């Protein structure tokens, strides 16, 4: 099989060799120091999604448009300035009504106990034997990815960028399974998640739905098992560890995904939408993106998964066909201010017509508190907005030209994409 040559079709081909070298060095430094510094140079990242091969097995020579295949865009860590565009508390909006309704309860988290392999069986083998029957390949006509079964009703989880704009996709359990038509029930570009539904009668008898663990219980160094379809190779398993926690990624609509899990379990194009499992076979994340040095299209030991707690929160609404809402402040943070200056998150720009502008925030303001809670850096700002909902009112303490003042802002629903 000839691997795809243009998996990441954003701007990577325009980067100089010096840029690629600098980015690789920056990522190596980040790996040596797990806590990310928002001021560091970003790492080029590509989504782990595989384009459909031509009849001869080669990757298509014609590159799809950026708008059609979100999976191929170049993404940078901390790409929107450290998190001011981060996801807020989630609500669901009925498409037939503008009335905001309370979101369904999150899916339950299940306590995880390590699976004990049988004699002669490896740990990865035991986890694979239990989980792999529930893992599927998903094709949207433009490319292929992975998904997995979460209930006996035929609900499948995958990435938003895997289904893209498709209303129906082709689903397959295993290499010998028949192709099943799946209906896309809901997508959330802000978390890069989607729900696909198949007829329950199409579920193979051996496919047991996967369960979600509580991702706040995950620790660096924990076992991480990825199952997916890299380059169309059905239900491939790879084993590694959780390399870091609290990473951020750019979502398909340009906003930010928080609390991302980093792993060195090998993830390649086609793994997108597949489960990242703990040593008990429970889902701790949905594999979504991989890092690259801007030249190689293969795995370099840095993969990222949307955390299971985000998945658990978003899925009930998507399963019902509702649109998920996210609180939005409408600023971009430039950097974390430290040292002799006032500690906080400095605003680089304010979106015209956004809630921050309406409240009087300006570029250059340093946010030091929200509702009295200390904001030490851009991540704190992101995390706090992440606890709020559209229409919530917040008070930001800001320093401007040496003077402090309080600014009241009413959060809005996040737009479909970054303005």
User: Are the C-beta atoms of residues 45 and 289 closer than 8 Å to each other?
Assistant: yes
Active site residue 244: no
Closest CA to 300 of 289, 291, 312, 313: 291
**Set 92, 112, 144, 161: catalytic member:** 161
Active site residue 214: no
With a CB cutoff of 8 Å and minimum separation 6, the contacts of 329 are: 84, 85, 354, 355, 356, 381, 385, 409, 411
CA distance 181 to 146: 15
**Set 192, 258, 259, 377: catalytic member:** 192
Cross-strand partners of 181 = 170
**Set 272, 288, 308, 382: catalytic member:** 272
352-364 as b/e: b if 16+ CB within 10 A: eebbbbebebeee
Active site residue 152: no
Specify the residue for token string 């040292």. 339
Strands 373-374 and 323-328, sheet pairing: unpaired
User: Are the C-beta atoms of residues 337 and 366 closer than 8 Å to each other?
Assistant: yes
In 8-48, the DSSP E strands lie at: 44-47
Tokens of 248: 């951020």
Active site residues: 161, 192, 272
């Amino acid at each position: 099989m000839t691997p795809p040559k243009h998996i990441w079709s954003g701007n990577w081909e325009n980067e100089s060799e010096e840029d690629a070298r600098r980015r690789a060095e920056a990522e190596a430094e980040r790996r040596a120091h797990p806590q990310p510094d928002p001021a560091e140079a970003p790492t080029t990242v590509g989504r782990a999604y595989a384009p459909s091969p031509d009849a001869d097995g080669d990757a298509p020579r014609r590159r799809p448009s950026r708008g059609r295949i979100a999976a191929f865009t170049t993404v940078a860590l901390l790409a929107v300035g450290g998190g001011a565009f981060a996801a807020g508390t989630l609500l669901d909006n009925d498409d037939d009504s503008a009335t905001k309704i309370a979101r369904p309860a999150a899916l339950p988290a299940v306590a995880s106990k390590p699976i004990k392999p049988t004699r002669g069986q490896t740990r990865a083998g035991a986890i694979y034997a239990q989980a792999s029957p529930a893992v599927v390949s998903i094709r949207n006509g433009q490319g292929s990815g992975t998904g997995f079964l979460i209930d006996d009703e035929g609900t499948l989880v995958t990435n938003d960028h895997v289904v893209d704009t498709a209303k129906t996709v082709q689903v397959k359990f295993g290499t010998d399974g028949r192709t099943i038509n799946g209906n896309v029930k809901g997508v959330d570009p802000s978390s890069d998640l989607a729900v696909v539904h198949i007829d329950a009668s199409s579920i193979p008898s051996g496919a047991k739905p996967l369960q979600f663990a509580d991702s706040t219980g995950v620790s660096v160094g924990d076992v991480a098992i990825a199952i997916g379809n890299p380059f169309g190779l059905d239900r491939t398993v790879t084993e590694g560890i959780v390399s870091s926690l609290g990473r951020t990624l750019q979502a398909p609509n340009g906003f930010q995904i928080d609390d991302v899990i980093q792993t060195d379990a090998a993830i390649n194009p086609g793994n997108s939408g597949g489960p990242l499992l703990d040593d008990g076979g429970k889902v701790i994340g949905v594999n979504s993106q991989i890092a690259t040095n801007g030249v190689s299209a293969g795995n370099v030991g840095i993969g990222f998964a949307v955390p299971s707690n985000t998945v658990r929160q978003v899925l009930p609404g998507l399963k019902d066909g509702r649109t998920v809402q996210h609180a939005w402040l409408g600023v971009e943070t430039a950097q974390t201010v430290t040292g002799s200056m006032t500690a906080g998150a400095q605003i680089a720009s304010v979106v015209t017509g956004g809630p921050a502008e309406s409240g009087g925030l300006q570029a250059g303001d340093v946010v030091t508190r929200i509702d009295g809670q200390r904001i030490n850096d851009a991540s704190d700002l992101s995390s706090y907005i992440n606890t709020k909902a559209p229409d919530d009112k917040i008070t930001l303490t800001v320093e401007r030209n040496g003077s402090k003042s309080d600014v009241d802002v009413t959060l809005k629903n996040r737009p479909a994409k970054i303005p």
